[in-house]
Amino acid sequence: MNKVVVMGTNHTVAPLEFRERLALIQTQNQNDDADALYQGKSSDQSPIKLGTWLQGKYQIQGAVTLSTCNRVEIYATLPSDQDPYQLRRFVTESFQLEGELVDKYTYVYEGLMAILHLFRVSSSLDSMILGEPQILGQIKEAYSTALKDNTADLLLNRLFTKAISVGKQIRTQTNIASGAVSVSYAAVVLAKQLFNHLKDKTVVIIGAGKMSELTVKHLVENGVSRVIVVNRSCERAERVAEMFNGMPVIYQPNLNFLAHADIVISSTTAPHHVIQLDPLKRVMQKRSDHPMFLIDIAVPRDISPETAQLENVHLYNIDDLQAVVASNLQDRQQEAELAEKIASTEAMKFHGYLNSLGVTPAIKSLNQKFQQIAARELEYCLKKGNLNRQQQTVVSTMIRSLIKKLLDSPTRHLRQVAANADPMQQICLLRELFCLDDIDSSESADNFDISE
C-alpha cells in the first residue's frame, strides 16, 4: 500500500533567496518543454527531466512537480512504511543546499495532510493572493507534464484529477475569486462601474510607470481599444506605446491630449500636479462634458484634488483603489472559511477512498482463504456422506451463508478503519492471524465467492 507525500517550500515559509535556489529551471530542448534541472545534469550537458530522475536515481514510485514564482513542490508516492528521507536527499544533493537550510525552509506532509495541502493549493487558499486563478492552470500544467513523462502513477493520477475538481468546485460554490484584489485591477472594476463596458473606450496613460502599464494592460484585456501614452520623453512614450499598439504624445500643460480620453491613468514622479483644475476645465468644455474617469496612482499626487468638483469628472487616487482592494480582500477572507470546509471535507473523503483501496486486497485474500478451506471440507464431506444433489445444494448454500456471516464483521471493521485512519496495522495483523500470505493461488474456490 502506497502513501502520498509532498515536500516543498513557498512564500510563507522561505525567503526569496532560498526559493530562488530551489526554483526549477524551465527549459526548452529539441523535443519538448519540461521542468528540468541543470544541477546534476548528465555528462553531455543535456537537462534531466525531474520526474524521471526522481523515479530512477531516488527510487520514488511516482512524482509530480509543481514550480511557480511562489512555490516549488514535489508530490510523490512511497510505500506506507517508507520514510520520505529520499525526497530530502534529492533536494539537498540536486540543488546543493545545506541540510539545515532545507529543514528550516521546507515542509513535508504525508497522507491526509498531503492531500489537504494540495486541495488548498488548487483552491488558491495557500496563494499569496487569496482566490487568484492562475494556480489551477499551473497545477494542470504540472500534472500534464507528469503524464507526458510517464511519472504520475495511478495514485497521483487520481489525486491530481480530484485536486483540479476540488479547485473548480470551490470557485463555483464560493465567491473566493470575486472582486478586485490588486490596485491595477481595482481601477478596471471602477471604470466598468462608470461606463458599464469598456469597448471602444480611449485610455490615456501619463508617466508610463510600471503600475500604470499594468493597469492599462488590464483595461485593454477588458475591451479598451485605443491607448495614448503621454510622457515628457518622446523615446519613453514611444517604447510604452509600442507595447499596446498605442500612440505616443509629448506632455503639454494645456492637456489637449485629453480631448478624447475616457479613462486617464497618471503615475509620474513630478513634484507638482500635472493635471490642474483650469486646463482640465477648458478640456471638459470642449468635449461637451463627456464623462472622464481619472485614476491618480502617483505619490505625491499627479492630479489636483480640485478637479473632482468638475461635472462629469470622476477622480480616484491610490487610497481609493486600495480601499476597494481591502474591502474585496475582506469579502474573500469570509468566503475562505467556507472554502476551507469544502477542502477539508473533500480531503477526508479522498483519504478514506485511498485507504479503502488499500484494504480491498486484504479483504479479497481473506475471502479467498475461507473459500478454499470451505471447498476442501465440502469435497471431503460429499465423498464421505453419499449425499444426493439436493442435499449437496443445501450443504453448499449453508457453508456459503456461514462464511458470509463469519467475515461480515471483520470486513466492515476494516472498511470503517480505512475511512477514518491508516488501516495498515490492522491489515498486517489480519494477514498474520489468518496466514493470508500462504494462500495457494492455484487452488480454485469459485463456488464460494462471497463477494457476490
Judgement on whether residues 168 and 196 belong to the same structural domain of the protein: no
Q: Which of 253, 286, 311 is the last residue of a domain?
A: 311
The whole-number average pLDDT for the span 140-168 is: 93
* Percent over 70 (pLDDT), the chain: 82
**Residue reference for cell 509532498:** 6
* Percent over 90 (pLDDT), the chain: 34
Please indicate, yes or no, if residue 409 is contained in any of the structural domains.
Answer: yes
Judgement on whether residues 53 and 77 belong to the same structural domain of the protein: yes
Please indicate, yes or no, if residue 394 is contained in any of the structural domains.
Answer: yes
Burial environment of residue 78 by CB neighbours within 10 A (0 to 12, 13 to 18, 19 or more): buried
Give the total number of structural domains in the chain. Answer: 3
How far, in Å, CA of 27 to CA of 46, rounded?
10
Judgement on whether residues 202 and 248 belong to the same structural domain of the protein: yes
pLDDT-derived band at 305 (thresholds 50, 70, 90) equals: very high
CB atoms within 10 A of CB 322: 14
Catalytic residues: 69
pLDDT at site 447: 47
Judgement on whether residues 77 and 111 belong to the same structural domain of the protein: yes
Judgement on whether residues 187 and 166 belong to the same structural domain of the protein: no
Spatial contact of 66 and 138, defined as CB atoms under 8 Å apart = yes
Of the listed ranges 219-223, 318-322, 381-385, the least confidently predicted one is 381-385
In one letter, which amino acid is 57?
K
pLDDT at site 40: 37
Q: Domain containing 111 — which CATH number? A: 3.30.460.30
How far, in Å, CA of 310 to CA of 291, rounded?
10
**Residue reference for cell 469544502:** 342
Tens of pLDDT, residue by residue over 123-142, are 999 987 788 888 999 999 99
Spatial CA neighbour of 400 closest among 336, 357, 451: 451
pLDDT at site 427: 65
Show the beta-strand stretches assigned E in 318-362: none
Q: Which of 127, 142, 173 is the last residue of a domain?
A: 173
Q: Domain containing 235 — which CATH number? A: 3.40.50.720
Q: Which of 173, 205, 224 is the last residue of a domain?
A: 173
The whole-number average pLDDT for the span 233-260 is: 91
How far, in Å, CA of 43 to CA of 313, rounded?
66
Judgement on whether residues 142 and 215 belong to the same structural domain of the protein: no
Of the listed ranges 28-32, 101-105, 117-121, 222-226, the least confidently predicted one is 28-32
Please indicate, yes or no, if residue 399 is contained in any of the structural domains.
Answer: yes
Please indicate, yes or no, if residue 335 is contained in any of the structural domains.
Answer: no
Spatial contact of 304 and 330, defined as CB atoms under 8 Å apart = no
Please indicate, yes or no, if residue 401 is contained in any of the structural domains.
Answer: yes
Query: What is the residue range of 420's domain?
Result: 348-448
Please indicate, yes or no, if residue 343 is contained in any of the structural domains.
Answer: no
Tens of pLDDT, residue by residue over 331-341, are 888 889 999 99
How far, in Å, CA of 67 to CA of 199, rounded?
36
Of the listed ranges 120-124, 308-312, 349-353, 369-373, the least confidently predicted one is 369-373
| Higher-confidence position of 294 and 240 | 294
| Higher-confidence position of 243 and 39 | 243
Residue 276 has pLDDT above 90, yes or no: yes
The whole-number average pLDDT for the span 443-450 is: 49
Judgement on whether residues 160 and 235 belong to the same structural domain of the protein: no
Please indicate, yes or no, if residue 340 is contained in any of the structural domains.
Answer: no
The whole-number average pLDDT for the span 322-331 is: 79
Residue 48 has pLDDT above 60, yes or no: no
The whole-number average pLDDT for the span 258-274 is: 91
Spatial contact of 21 and 95, defined as CB atoms under 8 Å apart = yes
Question: Which segment, 229-243, 251-265, 380-394, is predicted with the most confidence on average?
Answer: 251-265
Judgement on whether residues 396 and 423 belong to the same structural domain of the protein: yes
Listed in sequence order, the residues at least 6 apart from 240 whose beta carbon sits closer than 8 Å to its beta carbon are 205, 208, 213, 229, 231, 246, 248
Judgement on whether residues 164 and 226 belong to the same structural domain of the protein: no
Residue 449 has pLDDT above 60, yes or no: no
Judgement on whether residues 195 and 283 belong to the same structural domain of the protein: yes
First-residue to last-residue Cα distance in the chain: 25
Judgement on whether residues 15 and 163 belong to the same structural domain of the protein: yes
Judgement on whether residues 200 and 290 belong to the same structural domain of the protein: yes
Mean pLDDT across the chain, nearest whole number? 82
pLDDT at site 180: 57
